[in-house]
Structure 1
Amino acid sequence: MAAPGSCAEPRIAAAIAAHADAQGWIIDLRGNGGGGYDQALLERLEDLPRPAVYNVRGRLRALPPAEGASTMTRMRRIVVLAALLGAAHSARAVAPAPGELALAREWTGAHFVRAAAGAAAPREPAAPSLEILANYGPVQRNGRDGQPLRIATRSFEHGIYCHAVSRILVRLPGPARRFHATVGIDTNGNWSGGSAEFKVFAAGKDRCRSPIMRRGEPGAPVSADLDGAAQFILAVGNGGDNVNSDQAAWAEAKVILADGRELRLGDFPILDAGAPAREAGRLPFFFYY
């Protein structure tokens, strides 16, 4: 029997990792839901400028490499490959058999997507949308549980309610100039505590950050230069402690497009990143604990 925590089929695990690395795949374990995710991993990766590696209910998707092979992109791949190979690090180096390689390729082919070399960036959708990359519980628009958003004693009719740790990909119908919102801990309901930091990323850059906001404090205005971006990310961190009562509000969140139009984010439809359908069976390796 294998030692506790070790991989019973290290050769197949190594083959999967090597094949994914050779193809330039980046693994994105993501989804949304009320718990079941690797909190520590999310916290380590939440500051990355693009959706990276998330482990939420085991949902598995592949992201094509970003424009060029940036250092961050390479680091993300290293994180994932290290996770695949970690359990087999002490195993003796042996060449996988042809049948094992075929099984590894079948599994990776079903679960990962290869980005074509030199492929153009995907065309932006004609309609705006919010894609939930990570969030504790459901994201809500223009209120919370039937009540207006509320920060301290002030109510807001428009905006987005979320809960740290949260990442929302905002897609726009065209290039944008600026993003504006008032941020803070939502004070609807009988809750105590809570702290959060609000961040905006666009075109791979950190565009703005709020101070750490705590329950009962008045909302803080945030404004980000989007510099023509047609999509950007709204992120909420846990304020440096934990996610208890980190109920966050992007109140009156809006964008100003390059053509001068103003769009409220609370009016955008919500898309769930979901999980791709797969025909391949279970993982071709397993663990003893």
Structure 2
Amino acid sequence: MQYARFGGPEVLEIVEREDPQPGPGQVRLAVRTASVNPIDWKLRSGGMASSDAPEKPVIGGIDLAATVEALGEGVTAFGVGDEVLGHAVGGAYAERALADAARLVAKPAGVSWEIAGSLAVVVTTAYRGLALLGLGEGDDTAGKVLVISGASGGVGVVATQVAAARGVTVIGTASERHQDVVKGLGATPVVYGDGLADRVRGLTAHVDAAFDTAGKGALGDLVALTGSADRVITIADPEAGTYGVTFSAGADGEVEGSLADFVAGLAAGRYRAPEVVVYPLEQAGQAQEDNRTGAVSGKLVLTTA
């Protein structure tokens, strides 16, 4: 599933191509599922480009779950037939894809393909956000209070559970209908929207940090609650600069370590995965549009089967 020009979901098209060949340190994967993330439709729309079309056709998608099909030179961590999940190289919306072996982890047998394909981006983003706020593995988290805006979304679900497991007191914002979901993740739920700061102050005398995963206009309240823009990060609000808040993007940090940690916790029953909604690859355009508009609740995943 690729696009050769920027635009709406109609620019996506299914094409046939030769199977890609893995280079040194890479593997070729038989893709089972691929995740839909906001960056996919943002790039496809051209909103982040300075021309009308990419230099060459682009295959969408970053993270996936797949079976190893061929090994590049020097790969010893995996063998042909191994089931893995992680980050693709050159696009995941395809029946065959490439990945750097170092950016993959083993898929536990008890984790479904649909769940496995939904994890890499949300997990690494959540762990990165916590680390930037001083709530990472090894940090002193005793007595810390964290507000997560959008706790019932993909990144929020992961960040809430991991922070709570580290001893952080988490207050999670969500809609009325998702309050029980947030509570089940180990957080105290509050409704987002006007009056958020007052509702949080009714629960705690202080807030140490805030993580905005939703981009629903909460930054003013979050800065007020923490007392400093330096204690707030967002991955979703383009108005971050207006408030002096850091906009965190990318996948820097110990990506695979965080993914392996969460997957192990998931397999052991310590963590819950975000709910997934599955579309066939041919409906990638609709899935991206549903992700953009928020028409469907859950983590959207494409399947090649």
TM class by smaller structure: under 0.3
TM-score, normalised with respect to structure 2 = 0.26
The structure with the larger Rg is: 1
Higher strand share: 1
TM-score, normalised with respect to structure 1 = 0.27
